[in-house]
Amino acid sequence: MNKLYLWGIIIAAAMLGATYATLGYLKNGLNGDIVNMLAIAGAVALVIITVFVVIKYVRQMQVDHASGDLADESWDNIGEYKNPVPFGWAIMFLGTMIWGMWYFTIGYPVNAFSQIGQYNEEVKTKDVQFEKKYANIKGEQLVNMGESVYLVECVACHGLNADGNNEVDAADLNERISEKSVKYAIEHGLTGKLIGTEASMPDRSGLMNANNNYAPITDKEIDEVAKYVASGMKGKDSAGAKVFAGTCTMCHGPDGKGIAGMAPDIATWNEKLIVNVLDYGKVGAIGKMPVMDRLNAKQKEAVAAYVMSLSKGE
């Protein structure tokens, strides 16, 4: 037998023996764990393939001579032969691709245990139990639950006093809406699902002025209607009320309570609007409100009850 092959067999046997010996030191061996079994199978395959490849190419360097047709291109008079892909290399490459697809679909990790998956399943189970247990709480109990959820999930941005750090980090929840928020909505439009539909509010270029003649709404009119809406729609004879009547009533209604499928209530707090903001997020004058998908339906209802209970939001 050629010494090269003999040394290859000896080295492969030694490496496989070392792998087997390592398993003996493990307390429970493979213990039926697919990850351990795949790791050992990979180690064995690497040993055999490595030894085989080294023997093949060392032997080839000993006895083979370059042959075949040279490619037309050359670099510094160094050419490349038009040799086909080695059959053995092609088989190993194809086998590796097949094994990789199996590994990620049937073997591991797609079909394996996942701590994240287990956590998500447990959260779903707990959410069902939570909603069943607290399904019927109303009134003060619901507000208290909402305050607890707020202090965990919302206080980082909206602040302990729900003022949004004076509207620097988030909206002030002690008031229904601010002049700054109204002006932003008119100037930039809104695409959020504030009524749970795909309806969007156009920017100022799509709004008629107070005289209903489709001329662009002016900066002065924006200031006036923003002040009117932010005041709780007080002062029915004010300039802002006139702008509102000519520009906003088509969607928001004459009382600002909104029209189903068209626009949200901008006069008073309501649970649906708050829950929709939690469900879909919102982009406004302060920035982007994220989707609060960590909360279940009852927790969102409770947060809405708490926000509506704040002194200026009642």
State whether 177 and 268 are in the same domain: yes
Does 191 score more than 50 pLDDT? yes
Using the predicted structure, report yes or no on whether residue 28 has a pLDDT greater than 80: no
Shared-domain flag, residues 263 and 208 = yes
Assess whether 62 and 135 both reside in one domain: no
What is the mean pLDDT of the segment spanning 90-104? 89
pTM above 0.85, yes or no: no
139 and 40 in a common domain: no
Domain range for 101:
3-115
Higher pLDDT, residue 112 or 25: 112
Number of domains in the chain: 2
31 band by pLDDT with thresholds 50, 70 and 90 = low
Among the candidates 71, 90, 115, a domain finishes at 115
pLDDT of 217 strictly over 90: no
Quick one: CA torsion of 127, 130, 131, 132, rounded to 10 degrees? 120
Residue 110's pLDDT is what?
63
Do 73 and 141 belong to one domain?
A: no
The pLDDT value given to residue 250: 84
Please, which contacts does 137-145 make with residues 24 or more away whose CB atoms are closer than 8 Å? 142/301, 142/302, 142/305, 143/302, 143/305, 143/306, 143/309, 145/298, 145/299, 145/302, 145/305, 145/306
Predicted confidence (pLDDT) per residue in 269-282, tens digit: 888 889 999 999 88
> Of the candidates 115, 138, 172, which is a domain's last residue?
115
Q: Kindly report the CA angle at 118 between 116 and 122, in degrees rounded to 5?
A: 115
Residue 99 and residue 134 in one domain: no
Q: Is 149 exposed, middle or buried (0-12, 13-18, 19+ CB in 10 A)?
A: buried
Question: CB-based contacts of 160: which residues, under 8 Å, 6+ apart?
Answer: 151
**Do 272 and 193 share a structural domain?**
yes
Provide the pLDDT confidence category of residue 313 given band limits of 50, 70 and 90: very low
In-domain check, residue 89: yes
Residues 30 and 50 in one domain: yes
Q: What is the pLDDT of residues 167-178, one digit of tens each?
A: 878 888 888 888
Minimum mean pLDDT range among 37-41, 283-287, 301-305: 37-41
Q: Are residues 22 and 46 in the same domain?
A: yes
**pLDDT average, residue stretch 28-49:** 76
Q: Both 169 and 290 in a single domain?
A: yes
User: Which pLDDT value is given to residue 266?
Assistant: 86
Q: Which amino acid, 138? A: K
234 and 212 within one domain: yes
Residue 69 belongs to some domain of the structure: yes
**CB 145, CB 134: distance < 8 Å:** yes
pLDDT of residue 96: 92
pLDDT computed for residue 91 by the predictor: 93
> Any idea which residue has 């960590």 for tokens?
294
- Residue 109 CB burial class (10 angstroms; 0-12, 13-18, ≥19): exposed
Percent with pLDDT over 70 in the chain: 90
- What mean pLDDT comes out for the span 193-204? 78
* Mean pLDDT of all residues in 29-46: 75
**Smallest Cα–Cα separation from 123: which of 311, 299, 306?**
299
pLDDT band (50, 70, 90) for residue 34: confident
Q: Does residue 105 sit in the same domain as residue 128?
A: no
Q: How confident is the model at residue 303 (pLDDT cuts 50, 70, 90)?
A: very high
Whether 168 is covered by a domain: the verdict is yes
3-state SS class at 50 = helix
Q: What is the pLDDT of residues 224-269, one digit of tens each?
A: 999 999 888 888 889 999 989 888 888 888 898 888 878 888 888 8
Cα angle 106-107-113, degrees, rounded to a multiple of 5: 100
The answer to whether residue 184 is domain-embedded is: yes
- Give the distance between the most distant pair of CA atoms in the chain: 108
Comparison of pLDDT for 84 and 271, the residue scoring more: 271
Residue type for position 158: H
Q: Which pLDDT score is estimated for 144?
A: 94
Going by pLDDT thresholds of 50, 70 and 90, the confidence category of residue 307 is very high
Q: Give yes or no for residue 314 having a pLDDT over 60.
A: no
What average pLDDT does range 291-296 have in this prediction?
90
Is 314 inside any structural domain?
Answer: no
In a domain, 255, yes or no: yes
Return d(Cα 268, Cα 265) in angstroms, integer.
6
Last residue of some domain: 115, 145, 164? 115
